[in-house]
Amino acid sequence: MIVCIRMLFPGRPQWAATTASVLPLSAAECRLGILLATTLGLWFSDAVHGVAPAWIGLAAACFCLMPRIGFLTADEFAASANLRTLIYIAAILGLAALVTQSGLGDTIGRALIAIAPLHPSAPSSPDANPLFGGPNPVGIGVSGTFTDTQGTMNGTALVGKASQIFGATLRKLADTN
């Protein structure tokens, strides 16, 4: 194997004649370093302050994108940002925060569980025939391809030490308008 590698890659490493000089950091690079250090510090200490790491990362990303404050000029931001997408994402995040903080998510979740008992200890029908594993934990891996006329899926379900390989092909029968 070593002989094959030597034949395929005959070059020899050589020392660089000169080394590149290290330039001092610009103001933007210093600000970015401080932002990254602060973000990492807040991520590591989330148990202390209670702010989820995802919110910290989102705030750091927003800071980076803010014109004049972050690392983009107003012209760069306007040229590259799709404002409709940004407003849509902001609305979804705001709605998610509202649902979480108001308790609406818990209320809807309890109502759905009361309608369709999904808890493992919930009684099931005596003629129920679960697809994989019954009450055992199941892990499923799926991959697939699709075209305009069909989609093919292949997967493996793992239940304890047993596995089940499965596949499906879905074909387009008609257009709906």
Instruction: Report yes or no on 90 lying in a domain.
Output: yes
**How many domains does the chain fold into?**
2
Supply the range of the domain harboring residue 72.
27-108
Position 129 scores a pLDDT of: 47
Q: Is 159 within a domain?
A: yes
CB 57 within 8 A of CB 40: no
Residues 88 and 144 in one domain: no
Same domain flag for 55 and 101:
yes
- Round the average pLDDT of the chain to a whole number and report it: 79
User: What parts of the chain have a pLDDT lower than 50?
Assistant: 129
163: which residues sit within 8 A by CB, 6+ positions away? Answer: 156, 157
pLDDT value, residue 27 = 86
Q: Which residues contact 109 (CB under 8 A, 6 or more apart)?
A: none
Assess whether 98 and 33 both reside in one domain.
Answer: yes
User: Taking the CB of residue 143, how many other CB atoms lie within 10 A of it?
Assistant: 9
Look at residue 41 in the predicted model and tell me its pLDDT: 95
